[in-house]
Chain A
């Protein structure tokens, strides 16, 4: 058996009255890829941060090479050879890729080895192909993820821990990443993958550890555990949302029928969106009819943010015609910064979408009693776990925030609902709730546009599917309607820079 590099025993960590870890066990061995699984809220991120020295456990022990250690800072973790790849990017957008890679490297490289040379060698060895000259802000999300991994590898860690690395990658990129992880393990490192998608973990991990409610509930070689056993371990007796766990489309999720041409509610023709960095959207044509779910798949940073905002009437197109219905519901991706106001209570957060409706004001005066009733209704009908409608938006969990937002946007009786990564970061039952609501709405005749980086979600819910890459929208034919086909379309035109788009525009205009 391979030697054990890291062992966590009975690790506990509380935040105020909330217990995030309540006896987590983890054993990482040299030469193996280890998957840490768990639903959202299971304690994965806390465990990750404990390993990286970002959080100190309240109880339990951490052993590295069989000796107990205290990790009080990321520096400590590095000193023991533990390297982290964060889910949230830690790069400085205004610095170039080389500069970002060089940051904090002083003393970490072998003497005499320049950063440039180390980076080039590493790129050659790993095949993680990234440009070094552009500023990070000019690059797409996929590139940024690769840079994060490079940054961690530059210090030659013995133990590499990655937090949800697949969230922003295309299927092809995920394949390549997994190859790399296996290779790194083959060199004798312990590679750890923290993820909530079963498929991802099973595809690459030699062993898996399942966390639930802060406890390690299962550790097994990935060959030994079957899927249903793992799912049960992850969710306990909770609701199972097969899409959110990456288990493929649900059996009942047959795509809705073709759109009714007489019920078009959205019409985009030749829509461009341009900002100081170049094109965000380019010559987009899109029609959406009542009762259909149109899926838009794409790697983040390819224009779906702008497309969502144009469709939701929040952003004006630079060029082209846009026809939208009067009432539009919008579920923005960033619940806590764009969907809700943390310091507003539920009534005020509901009011945010509704206060303009005639029944909720008379002249300049708001009618809070009416909006309070609606908020009470949303709280009970959508089972928002909040003691009262006076609860602050910031005090809700992500899932409950999303329940409030969905409830509020449905309350508008909109003809169109635009949903942007509506289940990202939600736990299983909350994700299931959102999916059910989207299906129900479509069946009631509402036009729905679902923009998501989660291919499984798009495949499961949508009728027609489009792929967006570099601001261009391309329909996905029924032939290409699978992960590989869409992935291929998503990849086209990635890594665009301002220079590229300016060049392209010059060619077009001339």
Chain B
């Protein structure tokens, strides 16, 4: 199975990722328009509301679309890093919750720390918690050979229910009335990136991380090992003498840490408290974000913003065009389908080119 998986994910250049994304979105919108017509809605008004809700003005773009894209970019980077190494981390959702729990704990109880250290402490604890959440599937994979797909999915449930337990139990707000935590300390909150908007520094963190990952993957020995193991574990071990277990361990834990950071950033930058339904499934949407970006860190920023715009626009479609909420799900599902189809077409074209050049009998 590892073979198939390794081959099924191809990394491509940023430009090609963007083009793929553009075609996917165009197809999606077209299908969406037809469905809207069938449902008796006005697709022009819906489309207008959608675009307006995502890009209709600087403040809308910055305060809604970009804010929405932050957890998508971060979890997308987490997934891209793991998939690049051939690790099928479907557990970004649970790792995000683990990070959020740690972040809110440090953010509430960490008052003893000097204020300038509190935000880094919150984010670091979130990353560590995410990595720890990934450690169980990692060890089961490396030591026992248990497939990480199933274990990471199962750990998602544990993470989600642990968060539910926390807001009903140990971390419930002081009055003990509502299932949520109290607010984190003022000093534990990420400052605004653009004053006057809702865009917090989490976006900066996401951009910096994407840039760092792009450099690591392209320029460093570890990045090379990561790509080799992801593309072909056999060749990496036999021809590159690469310790594939070490590469898997580091990339799996790194992926978990980034997903955990996504949870921490959401707490520290936006909600300032933990709720049961903190994530609407970012950890899963992240898979589409990462695949659409061709697992390219720079591409993840683009597709993350694209998905952020999609979700922001979906909200506006409800508000301004009266389209039912179920549309959020339909549109997202359509995009994912379009991505799969286009990715497949592109890969087939690539395989044909390769076969032609090789001169297969």
Contacts and interface: CB of A to CB of B under 8 A. Distances in A.
Contacts of A43: 361
A251 interface: no
Interface of B: 3, 7, 10-11, 219-222, 224, 227-228, 231-232, 234-241, 352-361
Interface in A51-81: none
A341 B359 contact: no
Interface string A362-374: 0011101000000
A42 B355 CA distance: 16
Contacts of A332: 238-239
Nearest to A340: B235
A41 interface: yes
B221 A46 contact: no
Given A352-B240, A364-B222, A15 B235 contact: no
Nearest to B356: A16
Given A361-B221, A396-B358, A353 B237 contact: no
B273 to A, nearest CB: 39
Given A355-B221, A395-B353, A314 B238 contact: yes
A364 B232 CA distance: 22
Contacts, number: 103
Question: Interface range on chain A: under 10, 10 to 19, 20 to 34, or 35 or more?
Answer: 35 or more
Q: Which of B10, B228, B239, B352 has the most chain A CB atoms inside 10 A of its CB?
A: B239
A391 B357 contact: yes
B358 A394 contact: yes
Interface in A1-34: 15-18, 20
A305 to B, nearest CB: 11
Given A341-B232, A352-B240, A366 B224 contact: yes
Contact of A15 (B219, B222, B356): B356
Nearest to A368: B219
B241 A44 contact: no
3 residue pairs, one from A and one from B, having the closest CB atoms: A16-B356, A395-B357, A338-B238
Contacts of A355: 221, 224, 240
A351 interface: yes
A18 B221 contact: no
B10 A343 contact: yes
Interface in A318-332: 330, 332
Given A339-B239, A365-B219, A44 B228 contact: no
A18 B237 contact: no
Given A352-B235, A368-B219, 17 more contacts: A16-B352, A44-B361, A314-B241, A330-B239, A340-B239, A341-B235, A342-B231, A342-B232, A343-B11, A343-B231, A344-B227, A353-B239, A355-B221, A355-B240, A365-B219, A391-B357, A392-B354
Contacts of A397: 358-359
Nearest to B215: A365
Contacts of A361: 221
Contact of B239 (A45, A338, A365): A338
B220 A337 contact: no
A313 interface: yes
Contacts of A41: 359, 361
Nearest to A334: B234
A88 B304 CA distance: 44
A154 to B, nearest CB: 28
Contacts of B360: 15, 18, 20
Given A330-B238, A332-B238, A46 B228 contact: no
Contacts of B353: 16, 395
Given A337-B232, A366-B221, A46 B361 contact: yes
Contacts of B228: 341, 344, 348, 352
B356 A17 contact: yes
Interface in A278-294: none
A343 B222 CA distance: 18
Contacts of B11: 343
Contact of A337 (B10, B227, B235, B359): B235
A339 B7 CA distance: 16
Contacts of A17: 356
B194 to A, nearest CB: 34
B8 to A, nearest CB: 11
Contacts of B222: 364
Contacts of A396: 357-358
B251 to A, nearest CB: 15
